[in-house]
Structure 1
């Protein structure tokens, strides 16, 4: 199958990853019937990506969450064509998906200054409207944050994802020896000697049942959709969320993580994946690693240990498996090299696909009569 508490919820609630807003384009201006003058068009409402903006800041700054553009100017003797109403801009973070009330995607903000028109202004009064202006478009809009990163860290709570992020990048996430330290996405960048930068997202830890939105389920899983690759991080000694939950070995942890991704959205399993086996500084870690590698090389021999519903339908092939310790630094440089290599290979594949499509398009156009 696999190859090479309440206080916490309140804290997480301070991090907003979706927001519902009202947007209304400005009304057009009145026409001037006697002289055939046209009223100005109403202003438009745009969602614009701004640096260092968060949805929480947006909500705090505009608690009513209403964004209305200016009305167009009326036509008059001194200005027969009325001026356009003032546009209204909704400042939003990079990495936003914008949808309407029916779930239709209006666009995405993938880089700073990207903008999406969400509510058009009404036309000004003119001859064919009997010089009466039209009202602006009204819309309920949903802003949905999905982290953009090259690599997304996948693991159960306390697997060491935050410690790993601080080791490989300049990020300074909160780190403590208990589950759910990460309550909101943390982003870091791996810097290479040739100035290449790779972004890494550490996301709130999964728990079993995440696909059913248990714990922080969907808040976590949706962020993975906008990462290019997945880096599974598992504790070599296994995982147990609490004294009342079942202990899971490292191998079981990997199988369960893959199943959670599959149950949420099968496409997540098509992403290139790496595996970091953490806490190799612990006693008996080498013995446990040897056992884990045997299980990963012949997973079908061990799947009888699982309930049928826990077994993934589709295999995930890890491009690299790297034993690491975020305490001693063992394997960290090798991991960084493997991440770089995997992304470079992915870039080459994507470029080849793009060139092939271009070639096919050229061949089709040249053979057309």
Structure 2
């Protein structure tokens, strides 16, 4: 009986590991090798063929998991060049090896050298160059191609990125506004992998929203999900910060943070990771307004939210960001209980995304930056829409 139990547990462990391998991937390590150059023919001055190259091609609607499944050996080797001969004084070159990767990846060597990025479908990038064919300079002996491990680092592409501490209600909101089915529970870190949902509108407009793993204090220094979360924020158009009106406490070992403190901390984490993120358009959602005494707690911080840059100066350095986000909207919602709140969020994010699209498609490209800054200033002067 004990023997059978051990066998069963072993099978379950294998299934568990298999599941993890087949799940979402935002990083993948593979080995690439350019082909070896063909040998030359000294007697006739023949030149060997150049070794083939390893090249990646950008492709929409595929994932790094797909790349892994297509070649589980995780090795791509190009063909070697042909030797020079009596019939072929110039040896034919080796065939290139090409494979597809998702748009949005950055490729590094194992030592951290950046080889490049793939940002558009059909875009190509040379990863490993084939060796030179045999010629007088190398004694007519073909040389080996470049060979090393490379790492694909994927930054998720979505219109909207949900930013918040664990259990703030990000997954609940994503489920409410889209057809995504993220795991939801009343404990931190339910989301351990990014979920992307599509918000559909009656006129067939679609906007993508990414629910990313919750931050913790020190995420900028790679604590918790750290950089695995924050890197995805870089490729979103709009930051949607969501906080619990009751504040947040990760565990008894951590201090309880009020709603206002969580807003400042989220701002600070983004700033410390990449201050350019503060230039992105952003909205703030204060969630769980259906809970006890929520309205009273909101009334206590309402005035502070209208002047958050000044209020931030009263907090210690470990909480206070140097620069604060300029929220175009601040909405109080109950993502779980009120459908009208969900509809309000859908309409507000669409208006802002549509304005951004218009600016991006403007014929006067040189003026986009000025127009966008004027738009931000106007929104700032008008003040956020406090519901």
Q: TM-score range by the shorter chain?
A: 0.7 to 0.9
1:117 to 2:126 alignment: yes
Q: CA deviation at 1:85?
A: 1.5
Tell me how far 1:15 sits from its aligned partner. Answer: 5.1
> What does the per-residue CA deviation read over 1:59-115, in whole Å, with 9 as the maximum and x for residues that have no partner?
566566433211011222334433322322354333211123453432222344443
**How many residues of Structure 1 are paired with residues of Structure 2 in the alignment?**
350
| Cα distance in structure 2, aligned partners of 1:37 and 1:92 | 38
1:254 and 2:257 are equivalent in the alignment: no
**Equivalent residue runs for 1:281-296 within 5 Å:** 281-296=290-305
Tell me the equivalent position of 2:343.
Answer: 333
The question of whether the paired residues in 1 share the 8 Å contact of 2:264 and 2:312 is answered with no
Q: Does 1:139 align with 2:148?
A: yes
Q: Which runs of 5+ in 1 are unaligned?
A: 1-6, 359-369
Q: Distance in 1 between matches of 2:292 and 2:357?
A: 39
TM-score (norm 2): 0.80
1:240 is paired with a residue of what secondary structure?
A: coil
Cα distance in structure 1, aligned partners of 2:291 and 2:219: 28
1:53-132 → structure 2 map (5 Å cutoff): 53-56=62-65, 58=67, 65-101=74-110, 103-126=112-135, 129-132=138-141
Partner of 1:187: 196
| Secondary structure at the counterpart of residue 339 of structure 2 | coil
| Mapped pair 1:28 → 2:32 | no
In structure 2, relative to structure 1, the CA distance for the partners of 1:64 and 1:99 (3 Å cut) is same
Which residue of the partner structure matches residue 161 of structure 1? Answer: 170
How far 1:292 sits from its partner (Å)? Answer: 3.1
CA change 1:172–1:294 in 2 (3 A) is same
1:176 is aligned to 2:162: no
Q: Per-residue deviation at 1:157?
A: 0.4
Higher relative contact order (CA 8 A, sep 6+): 1
RMSD: 3.0
Which string of whole-angstrom CA distances, capped at 9 and with x for unpartnered residues, describes residues 263-293 of structure 1? 2221111111111222222233333333332
Measured after TM superposition, the shift of residue 25 of structure 1 is 0.6
1: CA distance between counterparts of 2:213 and 2:86? Answer: 62
Structure 2 distance, partners of 1:330, 1:255, is 28
Q: Distance in 2 between matches of 1:194 and 1:127?
A: 68
Q: Deviations over 1:128-178 (max 9, x none)?
A: 655432321233422112111111110000111111111122211111111
Q: Which deviations, in whole Å up to 9, do the C-alpha atoms of 1:292-334 show, x marking residues without a partner? A: 3211113366446632331110121101122222222232222
The answer for unaligned runs of 5 or more in structure 2 is 1-15, 369-387
In the TM superposition, residue 220 of structure 1 has moved relative to its aligned partner by 1.0
Tell me what 2:380 maps to.
none
Greater CA deviation, 84-93 or 56-65? 56-65
Q: Check conservation: 1:31, 1:38, Cα contact below 8 A.
A: yes
